[in-house]
Structure 1
Amino acid sequence: MTSQSISRRGFLGLSSLAAAGAVGISMGGAIPALASGISPAANMADGTMTPKREFRAIWLASVLNINWPRSGSDSMEKQKSDYIEWLDLAREINLNAVVSQVRPTADAFWPSPYEPWSQYLTGTQGKAPEYDPLAFQVEEAHKRNLEYHAWFNPYRVSMQADPSKLHPDHPARKNPDWIFPFAGKLYYNPGIPEVREFVQTAMLDAVIKYDLDGVHFDDYFYPYPSGTLTLPDQETYAQYGGDFDNIEDWRRNNVDLMVSEFGRKIKEVKPWVKFGISPFGIWQNKTADQPLGSETNGTQSYSALFADTRKWVKEGYLDYINPQIYWFIGQAAANYAKLVPWWADVVRDTDVQLYIGQGAYKATDGVFTDPDEMLKHIDIDRATPEVAGSVFYNGDSVRLALGEGQWARRLVDTYYTRPALLPLIPHLGGTVPRPPVLTGSKQSAKGVTLEWHVPGNGGATSFAIWRFNGKVTPTAADFTDARNLIATERSTGRVNTYVDASAASGEYTYVVTALDRLGNESAPSRARASN
């Protein structure tokens, strides 16, 4: 296992190893609102490789300076430039979100009143950078119309086990009874109610102060097992576990409480912010839970991390679940082709969306020996109606495989040829914006320049730009997938412009739709031919 996979994903070993609604459109005529289903597969017409809605993101890890910043000694200018490169890459390959780590080790990438500045920003914990990295990241992501999901690690305190090496004002130094060492690292004790409250307060500070689109946890709750080590929480159980017959159920309840409480607190302050978790890919093996478990023989989050991930979905604690299914198709202990349908069954008939966590580092590092492995994963996902997208770990693993003929380049050239709108999460609500008024479509040597506005801004956060060859009358079918979708753009105010530099000489028909921040789509604008 690479150092990157260790730092992001802990113990990865295995124990034995909408459709669009019926709409009409006419040149110069108004069109009814578009209705889009929750499933990308439902938006695929006749096997098209261009689903209209699909979550596409990369994880950008800050712990140990894996993806960003590259070094704690980098200047502010370099940090900003490097992050913009990540965002520009995401746009270039038609992603629509980034999942960026902002609290890697009980520290902060923003001026937090609760926790010190992260050492990964300046090389020294508690030392302030010359800017607010979280504010910068959110602003730059939104400029490029990328959703920004802030990635927090709730309980990990340090990648080393000596509390004296923490900043003197670190809460773990001031409250030594809150933490325990385990396998060379420090962790907050999830069984202490004050810890659970503090951790939530520290993270909620960012939700309140910044324009986040999502809050994201990974798979670290109780630490991953390590050899014969036992968790040092027997005294905590004796103090707080009186209602439970065994320590395992008590630990699971501690994590359940943290997840459910924090999910509610997010919605209390900002109901539109999405809450998602990317747990280890196995809940329980079928041998441990018949018939609910999966046909696997690996580490189980339920018993190893005390993370009852299936319950979180069934109880609706989350808006999306993003299981890390980092195994190849046919792998004996954990078969990708069996785990995806298992998770699809878990989310079926719930309000929780399913995005698949892809082990991109295994494709780039050669652990996956089939050069088409990652492409086959997308085939399975898109054939599974409940799967609404993918998140790739990590940024470097994608970037390094974008060369000619490499897996990421082939994935982009085959599956991500067009932008995609974000999937709808219906229970989050939102408001369908007023349709844009497309006022200009002027052709020049630079391409076709479009101009539009939304009366009163109409609740629009972003826009989708659709292009058709020739002077045509688009039909409802033309909006069921993304084959005619050429761009999505962030709203810049009442009047917006876009230059279609890819338009060759000839005649085109353009349509613009407006979207609110949750992806609800307006009726299309009147169609307008280039001139």
Structure 2
Amino acid sequence: MPAPPLSLRFLLWVALWLLPWSLGGQTAPKRELRGAWIATFTNIDWPSANTLPVAAQQAELLALLDQLQATGFNAVYFQVRSQCDAMYESQLEPWSADLTGRQGRAPSPAYDPLAFLIAACRQRGLEVHAWFNPFRAVSNVANLPSFAPTHLARTRPEWLLAQGSLRILDPGLPQVRDYVLSVLLDVLRRYDVDGIHFDDYFYPYPPSSGPAFNDDATFAADPRGFTSRPDWRRDNINLFIQRSQESIRAAKPWVKFGVSPFGIWRNRGSDPSGSATNGLQSYSDIYADSRKWIQQAWVDYLTPQLYWSVGFSVANYGVLLPWWNALGGSRHVYSGLAAYKVNNGGTDSNWSQPAQLPDQVRLNRQQPNVRGQTFFSARSVTGNPLGLRDALREDLFRTPALLPPMPWKDDQPPPPVSNLTARPSGNGVQLTWVAPPPTGNPLDQVRQFVVYRSTSSAINVEEAANILRITPHEGETSFTDQGLAPGTYHYAVTALDRLHNESLPAGPVSAQVAANAGGPDRPVGGVSRLTNLSVLAPLLSAGDTFTVGYVVGGSGTSGGKNVVLRAAGPSLAPLGVPGVLADPRLERFAGSTKTGENDNWGGSAALSSAMSAVGAFAFTGPASRDAAASVVLPAGDQSMRISGVDGGTGLVLAEVYDATPAEAYTATTPRLVNLSLLKEAAGGITAGFVVAGGGEKRILARAVGPGLSAFGVGGAAADPRLTLYAGERQIGANDNWGGGAELATAFSRAGAFSLAPSSRDAALVASLPAGNYTVRVETGEAAGTVLVEVYELP
């Protein structure tokens, strides 16, 4: 199978990396944690503002998870508690002001962000760790008057320690430790999380000016036999860590527990067993004896925050990493990486090198006890600074990875799958299998499947290069491997439990893709064509709209085109889509002339039959307020505008279906020769389309931002990036189209307007067999309007 095209940024990154470094030709590991912290405190990652409506919050979160999944991540650490508040529905602590703008105010319409995230991650194969800040209570005491009356700083002021503007819960008070433990156990018992995670904030960091906190009274009241205040403080944290681990294990033994401590335990100048560094020390400065936690097996993993560059004099990443690796024998060590410093490293010029963070990943892989890495933070990765995300997606994380196992928690693999079959399907192979029977023990429940492929009948399932796909969830028991060259392919499938213990493989099974992949397995309808465009997008504010375009035509065709148009809102809710648009409106246009509209579809039998014939899911009933139309379109430019009745907001699914039956297609039947979407790209745009018929369809895909200025479109995106997927497998990508002759010719042949050679618009050409495809357009941290286009090429 040919490699997917590399982006311009990625090629630049490779060139720069090869100059100063020689880390050897590494192969990606089969098992590796690839995590991202999603910080909610002060809206670092999500939501982007505390004034966003619920639909916009949800759309942002889904877009962020989509980007992480597409990049190759397999775990997220979601900040649920940052200052004794809650990013989830809690009876113990008030709603976070970072969610709704006012502490204690619930989101409206009501939803639970943590439950929403877990459900979304289960559909994307992402492990979920609930991230807690255990002891921070008030980050800035000047904000205390706006805090909810139920906040601990108001109800239990005697529990607080003060340092400057910071207020923390006093870790020396047994009742504080009990309370914090009750909060995390509440989340553990009510939510299906995979892990509980603490960050580095225990006792306060030393102040840059002014006095440090004063816990004289607490020490005097309960010294527990300690005469050394620092030892007593460390023991307070040790007691809390140990009790957390014991409580989590007792409640849900499959849930992981870990901490991301400050990256320096002790300097060698203070302790011969410390690291060769000269920075702040967690042991003595914030009383966190992180080395003891892993030595005593009180944690399942540590993720030290190694937020320094390779070569930094005070704390060298290349020095600290081996020190932490030496601690990782019986429990996992992951590396915490400073994505937020890429091209933003202040006086440390090492962070201006595109290779800095990718090379840290490579160094991690050279350490046998470093089992992966977590990036701070998610937006810092998806913003693609210096091509970081490109380097991960197109090289370091290009091969899917299983999570590292934790045999001390569970080492029993699930039963293997059964009835594995493979059969040719056009120029692909369709696989099906039967999952093992369900079990009542959560430790034994199957969560995902791994599909392996090789051109050798002896498939080595220990080789990461043979991993074709890791399914996002246990409900997926089939997969079609598309776009294959002629030849014989061999497959095996394994099952994973929730701790990623892997079953014995089923298979191998084999299938041969013929040089002329026709015959009975080829989709019916001999004319290769575009048959469907689907866009799930939010209307964020009153008056918000977006436009979906479609061109009817094709060389040598004549007559009208039967289509079904839909704007689904209410009927998405039973499918598990939250925050839907309650009452969508669909307006049809031919050129600039309005030709009709629909508000509520009305339950028409003829329309219901037409929707069923094209394979669209059924609306919930005649009274649903979804919009739809079945019409015959003349040749030419057509479009539909989607809006909310009475300024409504929420998620809406816009769909265009070719309603001509496959068996009725001939060379003269009009086709949908262009599908397009014009929309504000905040959070990215995802559009799906379907290729049907025999043979391959050559298409042109474009993401136009700067090129819109010639048409008077204001606020266009400055630099859109386009990625093409077959299912969830990336098959092409482009950032800046570059003015190449092949693409310029494709523009002309498709009838697309021209683009300046130096513009930062994106475009690519691909030959696609029948199947489902997705175009993903991203604009980084900047928003703006983007025109997404898919053309057939003659």
> 1:232 and 1:69 mapped to 2: Cα distance?
35
Gaps of 5+ in 1: 1-45
2:115 is paired with a residue whose SS is helix
Q: 1:60 aligns with which of 25, 38, 48?
A: 38
**What corresponds to 2:452 in structure 1?**
466
Among residues 50, 55, 60, which one is paired with 1:77 in the alignment? 55
> 2:293 & 2:408 partners in 1: Cα distance?
16
Whether contact under 8 Å (2:198, 2:259) holds in the other structure is yes
Q: What is the CA–CA distance in structure 2 between the aligned matches of 1:325 and 1:359, rounded to whole Å?
A: 7
| Corresponding residue for residue 221 of structure 2 | 239
Match of 1:30 in 2: none
Q: Which amino acid aligns with 1:398?
A: V
CA positional deviation for 1:457: 3.9
Task: Confirm or deny that 1:95 pairs with 2:73.
Answer: yes
CA contact (8 A) 1:180 1:187 kept: yes
**8 Å contact 2:102–2:146 — kept in the other structure?**
no
- 1:359 is the counterpart of 2:359: no
Alpha carbons of structure 1 residues 63 and 446: separation in structure 2 relative to 1, 3 Å: farther
Per-residue CA deviation, residues 447-502 of structure 1 (Å, 9 max, x unaligned), is 43321112414732111111123xx3124xx2222101021114444x71223345
Pairs within 5 Å for 1:39-188: 48-129=26-107, 130-162=110-142, 163-188=144-169
Hey, what's the Cα distance between the residues in 2 that align with 1:166 and 1:190?
22
RMSD across aligned positions (CA) = 1.9
Specify the code of the residue in structure 2 equivalent to 1:249: D
Shift of 1:54: 0.4
CA distance in 2, matches of 1:422, 1:147: 9
- The DSSP-based 3-state class of the residue aligned with 1:53 is coil
Q: How far 1:232 sits from its partner (Å)?
A: 1.9
Q: Secondary structure at the match of 1:151?
A: strand
Question: How many angstroms apart in 2 are the aligned matches of 1:81 and 1:135?
Answer: 15
Contact 2:68 2:382 in 1 (8 A): no
Structure 2 matches for 1:304-315, cutoff 5 A?
304-315=285-296
Q: 1:364 to 1:204 in 2, by over 3 A?
A: farther
Q: Give yes or no for contact 1:364–1:398 (8 Å, CA) kept in 2.
A: no
**In 1, Cα distance between equivalents of 2:472 and 2:300:** 23
CA apart distance, 1:383: 1.0
Q: By how many angstroms is 1:347 displaced?
A: 2.3
CA distance in 2, matches of 1:81, 1:499: 29
Q: Which residue of 1 aligns with 2:368?
A: 385
Contact 2:70–2:393 under 8 Å retained in 1:
no
Q: Write 1 or 2 for the structure with the bigger share of helix.
A: 1
**Structure 2 unmatched ranges of 5 or more:** 1-23, 440-444, 513-794
8 A Cα contact 1:62 1:68, kept in partner:
yes
Structure 1 residues 315 and 98, CA gap change in structure 2 (3 angstroms): same
Q: Contact (CA 8 Å) 2:34, 2:73: kept in 1 or not? A: yes
Q: 502-511 or 188-197, which moves further after superposition?
A: 502-511
The equivalent of 1:214 in structure 2 is: 195
How far 1:231 moved relative to its partner?
A: 1.1
In structure 2, give the amino acid aligned to 1:488. I
TM-score of the pair, normalised by structure 1 = 0.86
Judge which range, 509-518 or 364-373, deviates more.
364-373
1:252-401 correspondence runs (5 A): 252-290=234-272, 292-348=273-329, 351-367=330-346, 368-401=351-384
Shift of 1:370: 2.9
3-state DSSP of counterpart to 1:261:
helix
Contact 1:49/1:414 (<8 A) preserved? no
Q: 1: CA distance between counterparts of 2:31 and 2:112?
A: 32
CA distance in 1, matches of 2:179, 2:484: 54
Cα distance change on mapping 1:272 and 1:430 into 2, 3 Å: farther
How far, CA to CA, are the matches of 1:211 and 1:504 in structure 2? 42
Q: Which residue in 2 is equivalent to 1:526?
A: 507
Cα-to-partner distance string for 1:216-243 (whole Å, 9 max, x where unaligned) = 1111001111124211211111112251
Task: Please name the residue that 2:729 is paired with.
Answer: none
- Larger strand proportion, structure 1 or 2? 2
**1:530 aligned counterpart, secondary structure:** strand
Contact 2:267 2:279 in 1 (8 A): yes
Deviation string 1:388-414 (CA, Å, 9 cap, x unpaired) is 000001111111126xx7233123322
Alpha-carbon shift at residue 445 of structure 1 (Å): 5.2
Aligned to 1:189: 170
Matches within 5 A, 1:403-442: 406-442=387-423
What is the CA–CA distance in structure 2 between the aligned matches of 1:394 and 1:441, rounded to whole Å? 41
- Look up the equivalent residue of 2:453 and give its one-letter code: R
Could you tell me how far apart the structure 2 residues matched to 1:127 and 1:430 are?
A: 44
Name the CA distance, whole Å, in 1 between partners of 2:484 and 2:240: 51
In structure 2, distance between residues paired with 1:229 and 1:447? 69
Q: How many Å separate the matches in 2 of 1:128 and 1:411?
A: 37
The amino acid that maps onto 1:91 is Q
Contact kept? 2:267, 2:278, Cα under 8 Å: yes
AA at the equivalent of 2:73: L
Amino acid at match of 2:134: P
Measured against aligned partners, the alpha-carbon deviations of 1:225-280 in whole angstroms (never above 9, x if no partner) come to 11242112111111122511121111111111111111110001000100010111
The SS at the match of 2:446 is coil
In structure 2, do the counterparts of structure 1 residues 250 and 336 end up closer, same or farther at CA, with 3 Å as the change threshold?
same
| Shift, 1:352, TM fit | 1.3
Give the secondary structure class of the aligned counterpart of 2:80: strand
Equivalent residue letter for 2:225: D
Query: Could you give the per-residue CA deviations for residues 8-39 of structure 1, whole angstroms, max 9, x where no partner exists?
Result: xxxxxxxxxxxxxxxxxxxxxxxxxxxxxxxx
Paired with 1:114 and 1:298, the residues of 2 have a C-alpha distance of: 38
Equivalent position amino acid for 1:463 in 2: F
Aligned CA distance change for structure 1 residues 152 and 446 (closer, same or farther; 3 Å) = farther
The structure whose Rg is larger is: 2
Q: Which structure is higher in RCO with an 8 Å CA cutoff and minimum separation 6?
A: 1
Which amino acid in the other structure matches residue 175 of structure 2? E
What TM-score do the two structures reach when normalised by structure 2? 0.58
The 8 Å contact of residues 313 and 321 in structure 1, kept in 2 or not, is answered as: yes
307-316 vs 102-111, which moves further: 102-111
Shift of the alpha carbon at 1:322?
0.3
Aligned length: 476
1:100 is displaced (CA, Å) by 0.9
Offset, 1:301: 0.4
Q: Deviations over 1:185-242 (max 9, x none)?
A: 2211111111110011011100011111011111100111112421121111111225
- 1:424-444 Cα distance to aligned partner (Å, 9 max, x none): 111011531111124433443
Q: Paired residue for 1:27?
A: none
Deviates most, 154-163 or 105-114: 154-163
Counterpart residue identity of residue 357, structure 1: G
Question: C-alpha separation between the residues in 2 aligned to 1:337 and 1:142?
Answer: 35
In the TM superposition, residue 336 of structure 1 has moved relative to its aligned partner by 0.7
- 8 Å CA contact 1:164, 1:173 repeated in 2: no
Alignment partner of 2:507: what SS? Answer: coil
Contact map agreement 1:437 1:526 (CA 8 A) in 2: no
Tell me if structure 1 keeps the 8 A contact 2:343–2:353: no
8 A Cα contact 2:328 2:370, kept in partner: no
Tell me which amino acid in the other structure corresponds to 1:206.
V
Q: Deviations over 1:329-373 (max 9, x none)?
A: 12111111110111111223xx21010000111124255133211
- Report the CA distance between 1:132 and its aligned residue: 1.0
